A and B are shown apart, each in its own frame.
Chain A
């Protein structure tokens, strides 16, 4: 069966909206681009490398992440972790997410009873 393009599009939009939340949630410990990609991948969060790397820089420029270059290994790597601002924003965002999911769950519940 061919995938419905409208459905695919809507799912992509849903995921795009939650991407920042996913990324922030995994940065309590410092990560660099590729390692974070793998962490997310292991937890079944599909994100493209070409979306993640720019997103990290953007979050840094918004002051939610702080970065540092680690030059101790053979290859220099840029590590990102939550800043204080990022940490408090993450908890607010997570709360908003929980509230929204419970509201939507109620809506869907109504529908399944109808």
Chain B
């Protein structure tokens, strides 16, 4: 038999289950020979094989079903699970890395800290992607039914009442009021930081801060507060969450948080006399401040997670009269 035919047949059956190979090979060879109609010149063979098409395509026809990693029927669920898992993994790794760096024995600079957090978040996300994908690939392979429950009209009725991505007016107004009050407090703190102090009878007050050291940091804090205020105004004006708005809002929140952490860990702004009176030594004070920062970090992330859920899982309110996007 001609070499080309042998090679073509072998290349085709290579893609098939082992137990079918021999039978398919025999039949395919016989059919190719018949198609040649006795003319076994190389030209005729080439023409015939060309008409049969690529071995991979032919093998696919023999297999009868398409091969895929994650089938179309599970793809939506896969994307949803991937988003949720990624969000959770990212937040958890971020917090854990932050906390562990914070309480590390050697001090770390902000830059190193951020890069370490980013690195661990990246590796966490890669792992999440890998495992979610592998799980779904296995489910697709074994054709696990992912239709959680029978769809019916009841589901449609409850869908109408689903919460939307609207931003509550009271929320953004509350933000604006709170931030304004906070800004006034910052102004007071800027001019009279010595007001925060321990007042004793018969002796002068001991202020918490070293006024001259604190002042330049307060200006930065005012700027971040103004930025957050602007975001609150934008939220009030837009009324509805969009991905863009979420990114801006999250960035402002994180910036404020980072700035607070940065500020509160400049140890020279605290008055040594106050610390001596209040908690004995600087180390204990540092632990208190760091713990406060961690609590704040966790609270911020929870609120971001809540916003993210609202933005990515809920539907847009249908105001334009067009069909909703999701």
Contacts and interface: CB of A to CB of B under 8 A. Distances in A.
A55 B60 CA distance: 11
B62 A76 contact: no
Given A34-B35, A57-B24, A51 B30 contact: no
Contacts of B33: 75
A33 B62 contact: no
Interface string A56-84: 01100000000000000001111000000
B27 A78 contact: yes
B216 interface: no
A34 B30 CA distance: 9
Contacts of A78: 23, 26-27, 30
Interface in B9-47: 23-24, 26-28, 30-31, 33-35
Contact of A51 (B23, B24, B35, B61): B61
Interface in A23-44: 32-35
The residue in B27, B35, B62 that gathers the most chain A C-beta atoms within 10 A of its C-beta is: B27
B26 A54 contact: no
Nearest to B55: A50
Contacts of A75: 30, 33-34
A67 B51 CA distance: 25
Contacts, number: 51
Nearest to A53: B31
A34 B33 CA distance: 9
Query: What is the predominant secondary structure among interface residues of chain B facing chain A?
Result: helix
Contacts of A35: 34
B202 interface: no
B299 interface: no
B162 interface: no
Contact of A32 (B30, B51, B53, B58): B30
B58 A50 contact: yes
Interface string B53-85: 100011001101000000000000000000000
A49 interface: yes
B64 A32 contact: no
Interface of B: 23-24, 26-28, 30-31, 33-35, 51-53, 57-58, 61-62, 64
10 contacts: A32-B34, A34-B30, A34-B34, A34-B35, A49-B51, A53-B61, A57-B24, A75-B34, A76-B26, A77-B30
Interface of A: 32-35, 48-51, 53-55, 57-58, 75-78
Given A33-B27, A34-B34, 9 more contacts: A33-B30, A34-B35, A35-B34, A48-B53, A50-B53, A53-B31, A57-B62, A75-B34, A78-B26
